[in-house]
Amino acid sequence: MFGKVFASMYEGTLYGQWQAIITMQQLIVLADAEGYVDMTPPAIAARTSIPMDIIEAGLKILADPDPYSRTPVNDGRRIELIDPNRPWGWRLVNHAYYRDLASKADKREKDRVRIREKRAEASGYDGPVTGEDCSYCGAAATGIDHIIPTSRGGPNTAENTTPACHRCNSSKRDRDLVDFLNDSTTEIDQERVLNNPKLTRFAHIIPGSSRFVATRRDQSRMSPMQKQKQDANTSKDIGQQADRNRVKCRFEEFWQAYPRKVKKKQAADLWKRKKLDRIADPIITDVVARSKRDPQWQEATKLIPHPTSYLNAERWTDEWDEPQTMEDAWAKACRVAKDRGLEPFKGAPHETPEQFMARVGA
């Protein structure tokens, strides 16, 4: 016999009652198709090799009412006696419910396998050969990578898949191939990539450069003049990309100014992805101003949003009530005095600008 155990068993009201959890696991395995375990406690202990005292303690907990149980049937009891005239033999109260859940889960898994096999059959691709090396770094492959990600329209075919290790697969995700190959944080074996005809269909290195560029057309079918023209255009693209890369990264300035220093890596990735270097000045200016004068930011650090939240929501564009400084209050009071033909307001020691404004009805 066997049974399916759901993780919710460890998260419900049996939490901390390990004897009951262990006993329930054994009962699920020993139960028949209808959820009956017609055995004595000594028989259960002998069959499962679980000590008798643990089985008895678990049975007592499972048979007691539980007002906090997810299913209030039978006052929350998990088991009940088959025959009230004898002290052994139990029925699992919720067996039918969880049996149906298990059947649905098994059906979903079978459907996933069936659909995956059907797609593989349609594409003619059976997956990588066991023992292959990663096409990017040379480590042992643990799966396949879609060269053009499926999220970008890439097909699930042998021509668009290549063996990859877990690290490279996780790093590439749905990124463009050239962007991934030029990422300085990855350990790419350029020679291995250039010897892989699947990859060189999409990326190559032109003479005099160490960076990968997109293969626009199959150069094997080009004349020497066509190759020279394409390489010249590619060199121009590389120069333009280098100019863009020379834009100074100002994330560290933002990070030094931001008062709540959490999730730096995620914030740096977000800064790069949103290309915020070009508008760094207003962002940093807003952060500095809020740090000095925003009452919410000054009240407590925990009220300051995480830097990732600030950048993602573009909070520097928000309007916020900046408190009035004493200089602003004096200036406003003087303007009111002048407009009403009053004596020049200089602010008597005994009267604040607010008191003056209230006295003259402004």
Q: pLDDT category, 229, cuts 50, 70, 90?
A: low
Give CA angle at 262 (297, 309), nearest 5°. Answer: 65
Q: Comparing 40-49, 176-185, 318-327, which segment has the lowest mean pLDDT?
A: 318-327
Identify the residue with better confidence: 236 or 58: 58
Is the model's pLDDT at 42 over the cut of 90?
yes
What is residue 240's predicted lDDT score, i.e. its pLDDT?
A: 52
Cβ(9)–Cβ(21) under 8 Å? yes
Is the model's pLDDT at 51 over the cut of 90?
yes
Is the model's pLDDT at 58 over the cut of 60?
yes
Q: pLDDT category, 218, cuts 50, 70, 90?
A: very low
Domain boundaries, the chain: 7-98, 143-245, 251-317, 326-359
- Most confident range (mean pLDDT) of 2-11, 102-111, 231-240 is 102-111
What is residue 108's predicted lDDT score, i.e. its pLDDT?
A: 74
Centre a 10 Å sphere on the Cβ of residue 182 and count the other Cβ atoms it contains: 16
What is residue 54's predicted lDDT score, i.e. its pLDDT?
A: 92
pLDDT tens digit string along 121-140? 554 454 545 568 898 998 88
Measured distance CA(147)–CA(135) in Å, rounded: 10
Is the model's pLDDT at 220 over the cut of 50?
no
Q: Comparing 77-91, 124-138, 155-169, 249-263, which segment has the lowest mean pLDDT?
A: 124-138
> Distance of CA 342 to CAs 206, 351, 353, Å?
79, 15, 14
Return mean pLDDT, the chain: 77
Q: Comparing 25-39, 137-151, 337-351, which segment has the lowest mean pLDDT?
A: 337-351
pLDDT above 90 as % of the chain: 4
Mean pLDDT of 171-179: 87
User: 84: burial class by Cβ within 10 Å (0-12, 13-18, 19+)?
Assistant: exposed
- Most confident range (mean pLDDT) of 13-17, 184-188, 245-249 is 184-188
Mean pLDDT of 37-44: 91
- Most confident range (mean pLDDT) of 4-18, 206-220, 259-273 is 259-273
Identify the residue with better confidence: 234 or 308: 308
Give the DSSP letter string of 127-177.
Answer: -PPTTPBPTTT-SBP-EEEESS-GGGT--SSGGGEEEE-HHHHHHHTT--H
Q: How many CA atoms lie within 13 A of 22 on its CB side?
A: 17
pLDDT tens digit string along 282-321? 888 888 888 877 777 777 777 788 888 888 888 888 776 6
Mean pLDDT of 164-193: 87
pTM (2 d.p.)? 0.32
Cβ(52)–Cβ(37) under 8 Å? no
Mean pLDDT of 187-205: 86
Residues 6+ apart with CB under 8 A from 228: none
Cβ(55)–Cβ(119) under 8 Å? no
Measured distance CA(213)–CA(243) in Å, rounded: 16
User: 292: burial class by Cβ within 10 Å (0-12, 13-18, 19+)?
Assistant: exposed
What is residue 233's predicted lDDT score, i.e. its pLDDT?
A: 55
Residues 6+ apart with CB under 8 A from 83: 89
Bridge partner list, 140: 133
Q: pLDDT category, 200, cuts 50, 70, 90?
A: confident
